Amino acid sequence: MKGNKAKPLAVIAGYGEGLGHAIKKTFEDDGFQVVTLSRKNAMILADTTDPNEVNRAFAQIETLYGIPSVVICNTALLTIERFFVTTSSQFEQTWRTSVMSVFNIAQTVIPSMIKTGRGSLLVTGATAGVKGNKNFSAFASAKFALRGLTQSLAREFQPNRIHIAHVVIDGIIWSEKSRERFPTLVKANAIQPEDAALTYLHLAKQPVTAWTQEVDIRPYSEVF
């Protein structure tokens, strides 16, 4: 079913419960039409590590809903493992999920944004992208690369009025998955997804004279 092309369109790639769901609701409440993209449980199904699937997915989105004014990249694979236990396939897949996915998405959506003379590409990073801790060799290297990619894209396409921003999630987002992974997690010490989603909305609506390239989000209790 076709969407309402009169509304600004936001696409959430790597959509899932927690942050993805909160971003969807926050943008919809603000008047956006939101399309979700993921390997499963999304409106459009695609493997974002595959450029052909990304091209197909965004062609479908453009036909049904229009050209996105905001694309949010939440694709990630959290790999926490000792270095000598980490396999080469785990290492590569962690990199592909975080970095290759954003590379593919950026190559697909930025040309359309240039044609329309506007657009925002918001990329979800992590603490691991600014400091690598033990047992995070795969995840940290991927997130460092993602941060560098995002900075480079911002510098190249800002003159085209394309806003590219990197959001550093410095803490654990409160969700069912995080509570399973960290059973001692206390809600007050976690990032509430609906609160974090407001930062994404703010970035998407920043005027061209006052853009933010990178912002970090953490709960009051997080040490940094």
Q: Tens digits of per-residue pLDDT, 119-131?
A: 999 999 999 999 8
Domain ranges, residue 180: 9-214
**H or E stretch covering 83:** none
- 135 domain-assigned: yes
What's the whole-number mean pLDDT along residues 101-124? 97
First to last CA, the chain: 46
162: domain CATH number is 3.40.50.720
Copy the structure tokens of residue 98. Answer: 């975080």
Alpha carbon separation from 14 to 10, 19, 97, 156, 213 (Å, rounded): 13, 10, 9, 24, 21
pLDDT in tens, 67-95: 999 999 999 988 989 999 999 999 999 99
Question: What's the pTM value of the predicted model, to 2 decimals?
Answer: 0.93
Q: In what order do the strands lie in the sheet with 214-217?
A: 44-45, 33-38, 9-13, 70-73, 119-126, 162-169, 214-217
Torsion angles phi and psi, residue 217, rounded to 5: -125, 130
Domains in the chain, number: 1
- 3 domain-assigned: no
- 222 domain-assigned: no
- 221 domain-assigned: no
Asked whether 23 and 110 are in contact (CB, 8 A), the reply is no
- 28 domain-assigned: yes
DSSP structural state of residue 106: H
